[in-house]
Amino acid sequence: MSTEKLKFGMVGAGRIAQTYAQAFAGTQHAQLVAVADSRKDAAEAMASGMNCRSFERYEEMAAEAALDAVVVCTPPATHAAIGCYFLQRKVNVLCEKPLSIDSTSARLMLSTARENGVILTMASKFRYVDDVVRARSVVASGLIGDVIHFENTFAAHVDMGNRWNANSAISGGGVLIDNGTHSVDIMRYFLGPIAEVYVVDGKRIQGLPVEETVHMVVRTTTGVTGSVDLSWTINKDASYINIYGSRGTISVGWNESKYRESSKTGWVVFGSGYDKLQAFRSQLDNFALAVLGQQQLLITAEDALASVSVIESAYRSLRQNRWMSINRRPDLAIVAGA
């Protein structure tokens, strides 16, 4: 395997970019050579820590740094314009979730990547968490039988009063798009395409103009049901994935992961919990190796578009208070009955 390190740029030097900075330090295939942020001081601070160049404008970074790839770590409403800017210059793009705030702009990103022969993917860290990958192997082995029901929870208190996350013009919505994009991606990873979705808005106490606690129910094309709790207000800190099969149960937790066969007593522990840095490193490595043509992307651009489409349908469900069908062809991303 080649030990060549690809030259990466990063757009956005905010919260999540700090995790990428740490992850770059441990990757074999990617090297951060430049960072751009419209907050000049933020770009400079990160660049000095990473010993790389800083730019105030990403257009200057694209012109001056010879980049193989870029990580887009800016707020969601900027993803399509920034992503397309780099894709048009034949720079491969790893874009933070959500890929974009609507399927029209997400489709434009996919077609721009295709036309320019470069790779586009969405960062969705949970697919890269070791325990999640192991849990998927356990499911695939048939140990818990046919999967009947999937539960996912991303609920932790965070005051969103002064953050862009609660400004739908910037974020695309509230907790449903913010945390729910991860949920949809994980469910698709385990269960395949989602056929329909129903979302109920919860009680609002933070005084935000967007939803802060929601319950989402899905049915997949193979008839598996999924139940998702998302909140910026309540804390539900048990395991974040539970998968119920005809012959057993799997539980993926923040501190431990385990499975239990219905015919046996007791749980079997198979993982030690969530390691954010491990997940970000694996994600960067998978993307870099895909760019080098040495590995398949774990999350394809079509997966990313499918997540955007499901979330878009989920918002229609929230507004119309009814089940929404999701077209199975992500290229079209047409919502039946919308």
Ligand X SMILES: NC(=O)c1ccc[n+]([C@@H]2O[C@H](COP(=O)([O-])OP(=O)(O)OC[C@H]3O[C@@H](n4cnc5c(N)ncnc54)[C@H](O)[C@@H]3O)[C@@H](O)[C@H]2O)c1
Kindly list the residues in this chain that would bind ligand X in the complex (CB under 6 A). 11-17, 36-39, 42, 58, 73-76, 78, 96-97, 123, 125, 164
| C-alpha–C-alpha distance, residues 228 and 30, integer Å | 34
**3-state SS string for 228-272:** EEEECCCCECCCCEEEEECCEEEEECCCCEEEEECCCCCCEEEEC
- Minimum Å gap between C-beta 207 and ligand X is 20
- Minimum Å gap between C-beta 139 and ligand X is 23
69 forms bridges with which residues in the sheet?
8, 92
Nearest to 120 by CA among 78, 149, 91: 91
Give the residue with the Cβ less far from ligand X, 77 or 197. 77
242 forms bridges with which residues in the sheet?
151, 251
- Minimum Å gap between C-beta 123 and ligand X is 6
Give the residue with the Cβ less far from ligand X, 102 or 196. 102
Give the residue with the Cβ less far from ligand X, 74 or 213. 74
- Minimum Å gap between C-beta 25 and ligand X is 18
- Minimum Å gap between C-beta 182 and ligand X is 7
> How far is the CA of 334 from the CAs of 127, 138, 177, 194, in angstroms?
26, 33, 18, 13
- Minimum Å gap between C-beta 163 and ligand X is 7
How are strands ordered across the β-sheet holding 268-271?
Answer: 268-271, 257-261, 248-252, 241-245, 147-155, 225-231, 213-220, 194-201, 324-325
- Minimum Å gap between C-beta 18 and ligand X is 8
- Minimum Å gap between C-beta 307 and ligand X is 12
Give the CB-nearest residue to ligand X. Answer: 14
Structure-block tokens of residue 183: 């949920």
Neighbouring C-alpha atoms within 13 Å toward the C-beta of 36: 21
Give the residue with the Cβ less far from ligand X, 164 or 323. 164
Give the residue with the Cβ less far from ligand X, 76 or 248. 76
Residue 106's φ and ψ, nearest 5 degrees, are -65, -40
- Minimum Å gap between C-beta 21 and ligand X is 11
Radius of gyration of the chain (CA): 20
CB 264 within 8 A of CB 175: no
Give the residue with the Cβ less far from ligand X, 171 or 317. 171
| C-alpha–C-alpha distance, residues 174 and 178, integer Å | 6
Residue 12's φ and ψ, nearest 5 degrees, are 100, 125
Give the residue with the Cβ less far from ligand X, 156 or 336. 156
| C-alpha–C-alpha distance, residues 233 and 292, integer Å | 42
Give the residue with the Cβ less far from ligand X, 99 or 224. 99
Give the residue with the Cβ less far from ligand X, 39 or 319. 39
